[in-house]
Amino acid sequence: MKLLVTGGAGFIGSNFIHYILAQRDWEVINLDKLTYAGNLENLSDIEKHPGYRFIRGDITDNKLVDDIFSQYKPEIVINFAAESHVDRSIENASPFITTNIAGTQVLLEASRRYGVEKYVQVSTDEVYGSLDEVNGFFTEDTPLAPNSPYSASKASADLLCRAYYKTYQLPVVVTRCSNNFGPYQFPEKLIPLVITNALDNKQVPVYGDGMNVRDWIHVLDHCYGLKLALEKGVPGEVYNIGGGTQVSNLELIKKILYLVGRPESLITYVKDRPGHDKRYAINPDKISEELGWKLSFDFDDAIAQTVNWYISNKPWWVRVKSGEYQEYYSRWYGSV
C-alpha cells in the first residue's frame, strides 16, 4: 500500500511514520514544508528505509500536490500537515487559514481526482470548544464550537472533509484526538516546555490559575487509533481518540518538576491565554467499540518515559530551541 503522509516531519507525523513502517510493509511518501515545527532529524534513522521517500513542499501548492498524486499514485492519504500551536494562531491567524483550511481542500481535491481508497484527516478535540469545570465528555455528536483561530481552522477543515464525503463520496475519515505528548514534540507545547525549561533551571510559565484541565494521551496510543481509522474506519465517520487522563496544568507541571528534580518555585503565573478553553475530556467509546481501539500507555509511566527521552536527547531540543524559537518565546512570554 502506498501512503501519502503530509506533515510527517512534525511531532505526531514523525512518530506515526516510525510506527507504521515498523508494523507493515507500507510505502510512505512524506510531504512536508519544513516550517519551524518540521524537523528531518526526527526521521534521520529511517532516511534510507527502502519504503520511505521525503518530498519538501507545501500542501497548498496545487501543482506540486497534483504532480505527487500523478507520479506516485498514493492509495491512502493521511493529513497531519498543519499550523498547530494555539498561541501562534492568536498572534497571527493567517497561516492557519492558509495551511489548515486551503491546504486540506487541495489534498481533498487531489484525492478525489485520483480516487484514493481512504483519506484520513487528523483533527483535534479542540474543535468542540470547552467543557465546564466538571461535567461531561466530548462525543462525536458534540456540536463544533471552536474558540481559537487554530481550532476554528481545524473545524473548518473537518467540515470540508464532510462536504467531500457527502458531495463526492470521497472515503474520508476524521479523527479527533486529545492532547498528545511523547518524543519529538516541539518545546512550545506544554509538556516539553516544562521539561526543557526545568532541565535548564528556567522559570516555568503557567497560564492564569493553572486550573485548566486537559485530557492527555501518549502519541503512540494516538498512532494506534490512526492506524485503525486508516485500515477500518468507515467513510464519512468521525472517531474521537483520547480519554486517557484528565489533569490540571498545575498538577501536571508539579508532577514533571518532581520527576526532573526541580523545585516548584520555578512555577511562574502569567496572564491567561485569551479565549482559554477550561476543560477537555474525550469519550472514546465509538473507536473502542467499533474499531477495537484501547489505550496501552499508563499516564504516569508514559510521563516518566517522556521526561527521560528529553533528558537523553538534550542535543535535539537544544538545537530546536535555538533561533526562531527564542524570538517566539520572548515575544510571547516576555522575560519569563
Q: Is 293 left (phi over 0), alpha (psi -120 to 50) or beta?
A: beta
Catalytic annotation on 119? no
Q: How far is CA 232 from CA 42, 49, 86, 117, in A?
A: 28, 26, 31, 11
CB of residue 249 vs ligand NAD: minimum separation in angstroms? 14
Nearer to ligand NAD, 93 or 268 (CB): 93
Residue 101 within binding range of ligand NAD, rule CB under 6 A: no
Is 125 among the residues known to form the active site?
yes
Q: Which three cell numbers stand for residue 313?
A: 536527547
CB of 183 to ligand NAD, least distance (A): 12
- Retrieve residue 103's grid coordinates: 491546504
> CA 224 from chain center: how many Å?
14
Q: What angle do CA 165, 218, 240 make, to 5 degrees?
A: 30
Neighbouring C-beta atoms of residue 306, cutoff 10 Å:
22
Selecting among 19, 119, 150, 239, the annotated active-site residue is 150
Q: Which of 125, 188, 215, 221 is catalytic?
A: 125
Provide the Cα torsion 320, 253, 272, 221; round to 10°.
70
126 is catalytic: yes
For ligand NAD, the binding residue among 180, 245, 283, 288 (CB under 6 A) is: 180
Q: What is the dihedral of CA 94, 99, 104, 106, to 10 degrees?
A: 100
The 10 Å Cβ neighbour count of residue 90 is 15
Q: To which residue does cell 491567524 refer?
A: 93
177 binds ligand NAD (CB under 6 A): yes
Helices assigned H by DSSP within the chain: 11-23, 62-72, 86-91, 94-96, 104-114, 149-168, 190-199, 219-232, 249-260, 285-291, 299-312, 314-321, 324-333
HSE, CB side, 13 Å, CA atoms: give it for residue 61: 14
Q: Which of residues 181-240 bind ligand NAD (CB under 6 A)?
A: 186
Task: CB nearer to ligand NAD: give 256 or 266.
Answer: 256
**Of 3-11, 20-28, 205-213, 306-314, which part binds ligand NAD (CB under 6 A)?**
3-11
State the Cα–Cα distance between residues 266 and 282, nearest whole angstrom: 31
Q: Which of 83, 126, 158, 215 is catalytic?
A: 126
Amino acid residing at 106: V
Q: Given candidates 5, 9, 131, 295, which one binds ligand NAD under the rule CB under 6 A?
A: 9
Spatial separation of the C-alpha atoms in residues 249 and 331, rounded to whole Å = 22
Closest to ligand NAD by CB, 206 vs 266, is 206
Q: Pattern 108-137, binding to ligand NAD, x per CB under 6 A?
A: --------------x-x-------------
Least Å distance between CB 206 and ligand NAD?
18
Among 30, 35, 147, 196, binds ligand NAD (CB under 6 A): 35
Instruction: Confirm or reject binding of residue 6 to ligand NAD (CB under 6 A).
Output: yes
CB of residue 126 to ligand NAD, shortest distance in Å = 7
Q: Which of residues 249-278 bind ligand NAD (CB under 6 A)?
A: none
**Closest separation between CB of residue 153 and ligand NAD, Å?**
9
Residue for cell digits 485520483? Answer: 114
Minimum distance of ligand NAD from residue 209's CB (angstroms):
22
Chain residues binding ligand NAD by CB under 6 A are 6-7, 9-13, 32-35, 37-38, 58-60, 80-84, 99, 103, 122, 124, 154, 177, 179-180, 186
Active site residues: 125-126, 150
